[in-house]
Amino acid sequence: MDVTLGLELPEAIGLAAAFLFGGIIKGAMGFGLPLVTISILPNFLPIELALAINAATMVFTNLTQFLQAGFVMQTFTRFWPMIIGISAGALGGAFLVSSADEVALGLAMGLLVMAFAVLTVYVPRFHISSKWERPIGWGVGTIAGIVGGLITANGPLFVMYLVGLNLTREFFIATLALLFLATGILVAGSYWTLGILDSTRFMIAVACLVPALIGMKLGDVLSSRLSADAFRNIVLAGLFVLGANLVRRALLAS
């Protein structure tokens, strides 16, 4: 039996390391696994393979996080407009994946994320009022769905919106898991229909769950010892670093 599922051994080791590191980031901050892995994997794997693995693992890692976090009905009730937006956007993004300019998208998204993190630090009263929560949520969900379909890494868009709602750490993580779960199901289904995700790539993704879940557990243990302010600061710092990495990757690819 080919335990590497057709991968070279260095590729298999690289996959395991990328998902372990991404899992630690996700466990600590509630997001970041697809951003970390999609920044690492294309260095030694074809981009379509990296996207397929990311999409499939998103479903399982976020289902685990969502069920563990609780607030199942509360998150559905409050954020259903975002789910509708994600549904519309993710399907469109998946069909555009073969023709989109990934360099321009990555550069624009990275700069936006970095700017948001800096502005939130220096203008800490950023807040979305209850009046605008659902309309803005639908719009953010649609854009995030498109980005998720294109590069499977739409976490910063969700985080920017949820930071503006000033949620508790527990509800923040539960909501992120729901939004990522919806994205993962829709994108993985679209990729399967388009042939980007197949049975072999699905099995590779299943194998990647082991280091990802181990990493998530380690990250959760680390973050549970932090205060609310420390957690918020780590989220913003993580956003800035991940945004800078998107910019770096886009500039290297241009």
CA distances (Å), origin 191, targets 51, 98, 122, 129, 196: 9, 11, 40, 36, 5
Chain CA centroid to CA 194, Å:
21
Record the tokens describing residue 81, joined without a space: 């407009």
What pLDDT is recorded for position 3?
Answer: 47
Mean pLDDT computed over 12-32: 87
Residue 82 contacts residue 137 (beta carbons within 8 Å): yes
Mean pLDDT computed over 132-139: 90
Residue with tokens 């994320």: 113
**Domain locations in the chain as residue ranges:** 9-253
The upper half-sphere exposure of residue 162, i.e. CA atoms within 13 Å in the direction of its Cβ, equals 31
Is 128 or 178 the better-scoring residue by pLDDT? 178
Picking from 72, 44, 47, the residue whose alpha carbon sits closest to that of residue 171 is 72
Is 200 or 97 the better-scoring residue by pLDDT? 200
Confidence of residue 209 (pLDDT cuts 50, 70, 90): very high
What pLDDT is recorded for position 213?
Answer: 93
Q: Which residues contact 246 (CB under 8 A, 6 or more apart)?
A: 35, 39, 106, 107, 109, 110, 113, 153
What pLDDT is recorded for position 1?
Answer: 36
95, pLDDT greater than 50: yes
What pLDDT is recorded for position 2?
Answer: 47
Confidence of residue 206 (pLDDT cuts 50, 70, 90): very high
3-state secondary structure of 221: helix
Judge residue 130's burial from the number of C-beta atoms within 10 Å of its C-beta, 0-12 exposed, 13-18 middle, 19 or more buried. Answer: exposed
Task: Name the amino acid, one letter, at 76.
Answer: F
Mean pLDDT computed over 110-122: 72
125, pLDDT greater than 70: no
92, pLDDT greater than 50: yes
228, pLDDT greater than 90: no
Per-residue pLDDT tens for 27-72? Answer: 887 777 887 887 778 778 887 888 889 989 989 988 988 888 788 8
Record the tokens describing residue 181, joined without a space: 């779960």
3-state secondary structure of 6: coil
Share of the chain above pLDDT 70, in %: 89
Among 22-26, 64-68, 90-94, 129-133, the range scoring the smallest mean pLDDT is 90-94
Spatial separation of the C-alpha atoms in residues 71 and 171, rounded to whole Å: 7
What predicted TM-score, i.e. pTM, was given to this entire model? 0.75
